[in-house]
Amino acid sequence: MNTRFQEAELFRLMAKPLVDLPILGTPPGSGPITQLVFAVTSANQSNSRYNPVPLEVRTIGVDRFARRLKDAMGITYRIVPIPHFGPTGRFAKFLLKELEEATEGDLELMPGNTILFSSTPSVIAQFRELGFSVLLGELKEFPVKGAPAFIAPTPTEVLKEAVNAGEAWATHAGVRTGLHPATFSVWQDFPDVVRRILRLHRDPLLTDQGSLTEMRNYSTYAQGMGHQAILELKYKDIKNAIVPGKIVDEGCADGALLVPIARDFPDSDLIGIEITGEFMARCRERQRAGEYGGTYIHFHQRNITEPIFEPNSVDTVICNSTTHELWSYGGQAKTLRAYLREKQRQLRPGGRIIIRDVCGPDQKEEEVFLWCNDADGGNAGEWTGKAAELAKLSTAERFEKFAGQFLRDLRNEGRRGEETVLKFRAETRGGKKYFVMPLKSAMEFLSRKDYVDNWDSELNEEFTFWNFGEWKGELAAAGFRILENPNVPTELSRAYCNPWMVEHRFKGKVELLRAKGDGLEAMAYPVTNMVLVAEK
């Protein structure tokens, strides 16, 4: 977006020789300014609060803004899209290289021919290190001492006013005086843009970067979720339960599960719903690459707890590894129960909800003795929590770290209380050390102990809150009929202990035992996962 201040300031500055301007650093010559270059950063990102507007609309707004300057001052202008770069101390260097590459060498910006116009202290600092002179825009002074001070509202501040004004933004005095007419006209011409801005800023689950958590490594997370063998296993779990027609994958991540669905249901309409901006970009890349063949598919960035579809309009809702995130990042049972009722509303009679997710054990509060191998890795030492260090820890040492960190950030943020603390005691029996705790807590550790690449984000999620029977009761309370086939238990609803996890993550690493008389007896590993199929 652009502001009235930006235009007034550029008119004022461009009317003077460079030597008369309040430039930080040495001016590149004596003037006048002949060209404006608008670097539209994060051009390939449009699903976060920082960048809620798609590139094509942003470009229209900048073009309308720049054309007024061109017509009045006789200058030329360029609008150059710049891809998103993560936080880096080399942002200025990347930006300059991208400007040159994107214009096929036509724009080679350097201190001798270019002035930076910016009010972002970190960007200014990087360009100053490269020798560029700077016009500070809204920024009052540089270097910044303490919190930045501004002489006029920044675009971010004007945007916040618009968000606070909500649907009345167009008549809000602060917005009208701050927002440039070019941006104002674009927002009026493209009302869906304003709706997106308001939705992203109002969503209680989203961070400013457009995700559930800033601690998740989306690349490794997607690799684990979308590994071909794992993906086919997940799809096999739900394929026979899918009702053709309008099929919605809620919490579709990077869209990987929709690929085999598109293959086998080519005449259905597929809708992917995802809340995170990063995964939305990956979904659309799959679509661009043609991975969904000739099947119709559309992606929405939405919070799936809110109404999305009309009543009685959907044939199948798929929730793959989604419901535990609603519980963890939302309001636990309240959020999940409201979600189930909303799915019942949007499904057609005979439509199905398919939930494939983690599951709590039956006897959640039973006290168990957890043995963890203390010889299959090292001790923490100077531990900083990095993935490579976690991978080297023994299972016993890893449990100690898990117990201290489980749901810790939720407590620090005030979203949960001390009830989230994982409580245990250590006991030695027959020369072996055990951690004693409720079975629920033990299974939280067993289900997450090997997620070292996304340790911080995974430890903010809860897996074992409902057992299979409780899940069925909640679905029935929401108005669903549970579909089970005792003769072919692998076809519809079922809870099971994941055999791959037993073979690769449990054996030799952990054992579960319960007290029996004066001794202990071994327990079978309880259920870890479930597939729930329910019909409206």
Contact in structure between 471 and 359 (CB atoms under 8 Å): yes
Which residues are paired to 81 by β-bridges? 40
Calpha distance 515→293 (Å, rounded) = 56
The parts of the chain modelled with pLDDT lower than 50 are 206-222, 224, 226
β 314-320/246-250 pair status: parallel
CATH numbers and ranges of domains, the chain: 4-202 (3.40.50.620), 218-351 (3.40.50.150), 367-466+503-529 (no CATH)
Whole-number pLDDT of residue 278: 82
Whole-number pLDDT of residue 204: 59
Whole-number pLDDT of residue 380: 66
Calpha distance 214→237 (Å, rounded) = 31
Q: What is the pLDDT of residues 77-92, one digit of tens each?
A: 999 999 888 788 999 9
Contact in structure between 51 and 12 (CB atoms under 8 Å): no
> What are φ and ψ of residue 131, in 5° steps?
95, 10
Whole-number pLDDT of residue 227: 55
Global pTM reads: 0.68
Please report the beta strands in 321-389, taking only residues with DSSP state E, as ranges in sequence order: 347-358, 367-372
Calpha distance 205→214 (Å, rounded) = 12
Whole-number pLDDT of residue 389: 83
Tell me the three state secondary structure of residue 435.
strand
Structural element, H or E, at residue 121: helix 121-129
Calpha distance 445→402 (Å, rounded) = 7
Residue 396 carries which DSSP code?
H
Residue type at position 269: D
Whole-number pLDDT of residue 381: 64
Q: Return the residue matching tokens 């984000």.
A: 457
Whole-number pLDDT of residue 18: 86
Considering all CA atoms of the chain, what is the largest pairwise distance in Å, rounded to the nearest integer?
93
Whole-number pLDDT of residue 390: 86
Whole-number pLDDT of residue 210: 44
**Sign of torsion, CA 80 86 92 94?**
negative
DSSP character string of 422-491: ---EEEEETTEEEEEEEHHHHHHHHHHTT-GGGHHHHTT----SSBHHHHHHHHHHTT-EE---TTSTTT
